[in-house]
Amino acid sequence: MIGWRSTWSIYTRELMRFLRTAFQSVLAPVLTTSLYFIVFGAAIGGRMPDLGGVDYGAFIIPGLLMLTLLGETTSNSSFGIYMPRFTGTIYELLSAPVGVAETLIGFVGAAMTKSLILAAIILLTARLFVDYSIAHPLLAVLYIMLVAAAFSLFGFILGIWADNFEKLGIIPMLFLTPLTFLGGTFYSIDMLPKPWDTIALANPIVYLVSGLRWTFYGSSDVNIWVSFGITLGFLAACTAVIAYIFKTGWRLRA
Amino acid sequence: MSEAILELDGLSKVYPGGLKALDDVNLTIRKGEIFALLGPNGAGKTTLIGAVCGLVRPTSGTIRAFGHDLATDWRKARARIGLVPQELSTDMFEPVQRAVAYSRGLFGLAPDPARIEEILRSLSLWDKKDERIMALSGGMKRRVLIAKALAHEPDLLFLDEPTAGVDVELRKGMWAIIDQMRAKGVTVILTTHYIEEAEEMADRVGIIRKGQLIMVDEKEAMMARLGRTEAHISLASPLSELPPALAQYPIELEEGGTSLCYRGGDGTGRGKAEVADITKALIGSGIDYKGIDVRESSLEDIFVSLLGEEEEQPA
Ligand SMILES: Nc1ncnc2c1ncn2[C@@H]1O[C@H](COP(=O)(O)OP(=O)(O)O)[C@@H](O)[C@H]1O
Ligand SMILES: [Mg+2]
C-alpha cells in the first residue's frame, strides 16, 4: 500500500526547494557546460579528427551531459535527505505514516525530475556551440532517466551515510568526478594505449558514458545492452541498500 | 474510566552506547486526558515520545496506540498522532502556510485550506502565513511547529517541552492552546521540567527519572498524598519554649525562638485550617506575632522529596 498523497507532498516540496534556488541550480551547469564546449569543442575540437564518424564537438556531448548529470543528481539527492537529518526536520518524515516507498518515490522522483530538467538545459546549451542530432531520442530519454534514478538512489544512500558535510562532498569529489573524466567523456576508449584500454573497462562510468553515446550516435565503445544491464544492476543494488536502511532504521532512527 | 488510547507495556530502550534511557515503562493513557511527564533533564522523556512516534526503536516491550500495535500497524497509528518536538527544527526558508499544508499532505490528508486557516488563526499565526519561518520569533516558531503537528487533526498530541526557554507570557499562551486541545477532546501528552506547568495543565502526572516511571497519579491525588503546608510565623518577641496550647500541632521554634515553623496538612487544605487555629491559639495565649508566611507545597516539592527518598534508598 502506498500513500500517494504523502508521496505527492514530498515530491512537490522537494521540487519547490529546487525552484527556490533555480537560478543557481541552472546557471552553474549551463556555465560549466559552455566552458567545456568553448575549450574542448571549439578550441581543441577543431584540430581533432572525427571519432567514429562523429565530429569531436558532438562526440563529447553525451560525456559532458553524464558528467553534470552524475554530479548534480548525486548532490541534489544527498542534500535532500542530509539536510533534514542535519537540521532535525526529519522528525516529521519519521513520525509520518510513510514508509520506504513514499519516501523514495518522493525524494528520488524529485531528484530525477530536476536531473531531467538539467539534461534538457545542457542539451539546449550544447546546441549553441555544436550541431548534433540524436539517433535514438526515446532511448536517450529512457537512458537518462535510468541513470538519474540510479544516482538519485546513490545520493540518497550517501545523504544517509554522511554524518558531516565533508563526507557528503568527498564521494563525488574523490570518485565520481575523476571516474567520469576517465570514463571516456573526452575520448574513445580505443584511443588509449594498451593495457589502459582494458583497465579502463573496470571503470563503471565508462559504460554509462558509452551507453548514452550509443543512444546519441548509434555507436559506442561497449555494447549498449551491457551498458543498460550495468545501469539497471546499479539501480537494483541501490534500491536494495535503501530497503535495508529503512528496515533497520540505520542512521535514521535512534 | 474512558478508553485507553495509548498503552506502553514493558517498554525499554538501551541506546547503542549501552545507556538505558527507558527501563520497563508501563503506562496507560486515557482518551481526552492531559498527561504531564515530569522529570529532570536526561530522564528519558524525549526517548519515550520518540519510541511512540517512530523516532526511536524500542529495545523491548510493546506500544499500542488506538488499539494498533506500533511494531506492525504503525501506519494507522501514526496517522492519528501529532508530534511537536523539543528542538525548534523547521525548514527556515519555507513560508508558514505552505509548511503547515505540507504537513497535512505528508500525513496523507487531502488539502483543506479552510482547515489550515482555522489552525493558523487559533494559534495567532494567520497574519504571518506568508512569512518565511526564519523571520519569526522563537515563540512563533514553536507555534508553527504546533500548527504543523495539528495539520492532520491528530487525536493524540505530543508536546515535548513546549515551554522550555519561553517567557511567562508565552507560557500562558501555551497553556491556553492546551486548553483548546482539551476542549476539542484531543489527548495531550506533554513533557516538562517546569512543575508549575504540570500543575497548571495536567489531569495526571507521571514522574520519570533515569528511565523509570516512578509514580503516576491524578494530580490532585498526588497533591493530597504528598502535599504539605508550611507556615512561618514571626513572633513579636522571642520564646524560649513552645506554649502548651500549641503542643498538639506539628510545630517547632526556630531562628532562636523568634519564629514558629509549622509543617503539616496533606495537600487538601487541612494545613491552612490548622494554621488558622494556631494563630487563634497564639492570641489566646497572649503571644503576639508580626507576620505569617503560608505556603502550600507544589509538585516541585513533591518531586524533590520523592527523588530524595529514592536517593536515600540503598541501591
Ligand atoms: N540518540 C541517542 N544516543 C545515545 N544516547 C541518547 C540518545 N538520545 C538520548 N540519549 C540519552 O538518553 C538519556 C535520556 O535522554 P532524553 O530522552 O532526551 O531525556 P529527556 O528528554 O528526559 O531530557 C540521556 O542520558 C541522553 O543522553
Ligand atoms: Mg527531552
Residue among B78, B87, B91 minimizing CB distance to A95 = B78
Q: Are A92 and B100 in contact (CB under 8 A)?
A: no
Q: Which residues of A touch B100 (CB under 8 A)?
A: none
Contact criterion met (CB below 8 Å) for A181 and A205: no
Half-sphere exposure of A147 (CA within 13 A, CB side): 31
Give the integer Cα–Cα distance in Å for B129 and B113.
12
> What are the phi and psi torsion angles at B253 (to 5°)?
-85, 140
Better-scored residue on pLDDT, A193 or B102: B102
Set of cell numbers at residue A41: 569543442
pLDDT over 90 at B151, yes or no: yes
How remote is the CA of residue B61 from the centroid of ligand 1, in Å? Answer: 18
Could you give all domains of chain B from N- to C-terminal order, each with its CATH number? 4-224 (3.40.50.300), 228-296 (3.30.70)
Q: Cα–Cα distance between B158 and B146 in angstroms, integer?
A: 10
Q: What is the 3-state secondary structure (H, E, C) of B280-299?
A: HHHHHCCCCEEEEEEEECCH
Which residue intervals of chain A are DSSP H helices?
4-20, 22-36, 56-87, 90-95, 100-129, 137-161, 165-171, 177-181, 196-199, 204-217, 224-248
Question: Which whole number is the average pLDDT over A16-26?
Answer: 81
What CA–CA distance (Å, rounded) separates B289 from B246?
A: 14
Type of residue at B44: G
Tracing cell 509543617 back to the chain, one arrives at B263
B42 CA from centroid of ligand 2 (Å): 7
Least confident of A201-210, B15-24, B170-179: B170-179
Encoded amino acid at B63, one letter = I
pLDDT, chain B, mean: 89
Q: Do A87 and B91 touch (CB under 8 A)?
A: yes
* pLDDT tens readout for residues B268-302: 678 888 899 999 999 988 899 999 998 877 666 66
Q: What length does chain A have? A: 254
Q: How many CA atoms lie within 13 A of B36 on its CB side?
A: 27
Give the strands of the sheet with B212-218, arranged side by side. Answer: B81-84, B156-160, B187-192, B34-38, B204-209, B212-218
Q: Which of A13, A91, A95 is the closest to B102 by Cβ? A: A13
pTM of the predicted protein model: 0.86
pLDDT of amino acid A49: 77
Please give the pLDDT value at position A68: 87
**If pLDDT is split at 50, 70 and 90, which confidence band does B315 have?**
very low
The arithmetic mean of pLDDT across residues B172-194, rounded, is 90
Ligand 1 site-directed mutation target among B12, B13, B14, B19, most atoms within 8 Å of CB: B19
Asked whether B45 lines ligand 1 (CB < 6 A), one says yes
Task: Give the per-residue pLDDT at B308.
Answer: 63
The verdict on B56 touching A (C-beta cutoff 8 Å) is yes
- Residue B40 Cα: closest atom of ligand 1: 22
Mean pLDDT over the full length of chain A:
89
Q: Determine contact: A9 vs chain B, CB below 8 A.
A: yes
Q: What's the confidence (pLDDT) of residue B91?
A: 85
Q: How far is the CA of B110 from the centre of ligand 2 (A)?
A: 32
Of A166-170, A238-242, B148-152, which range is least confident?
A166-170
Task: Check CB contact under 8 Å for B75 and A8.
Answer: no
Q: What confidence score (pLDDT) does residue B11 get? A: 98
Ranking A189-198, B162-171, B241-250 by mean pLDDT, the lowest is: B162-171
Rounded Cα distance, B216 and B209, in Å: 12
State mean pLDDT over A173-191.
84
Query: Could you report how far apart the first and last alpha carbons of chain B are, in Å?
Result: 36
C-alpha–C-alpha distance, residues B63 and B61, integer Å = 7
Residue range B25-82, pLDDT digits in tens: 999 999 999 999 988 889 999 999 999 999 999 999 999 999 999 999 999 999 999 9
- State in Å, rounded, how far the first CA of chain A is from the last one: 26
Q: Is the pLDDT of residue B313 over 80?
A: no
The complex's ipTM works out to: 0.89
Residue A95 has its nearest CB partner, among B55, B87, B91, at B55
Cα–Cα distance measured from residue B22 to residue B35, given in angstroms and rounded to the nearest whole number: 18
pLDDT of residue B226: 65
| pLDDT for B1 | 57
Type of residue found at B26:
N
Rg (CA), chain A: 19
DSSP letter string over B201-232?
A: H-SEEEEEETTEEEEEEEHHHHHHHH--EEEE
More confident residue, B193 or B93: B93
The three three-digit cell numbers of residue B209, written as one number: 527519572
What is the CA B186 to chain-centroid distance, rounded?
16
Give the pLDDT band of residue B201 (cuts 50, 70, 90).
confident
Cell of A155: 545520493
Closest CA to A184 of A167, A165, A154, A204: A204
DSSP H or E segment with residue B175: helix B168-184
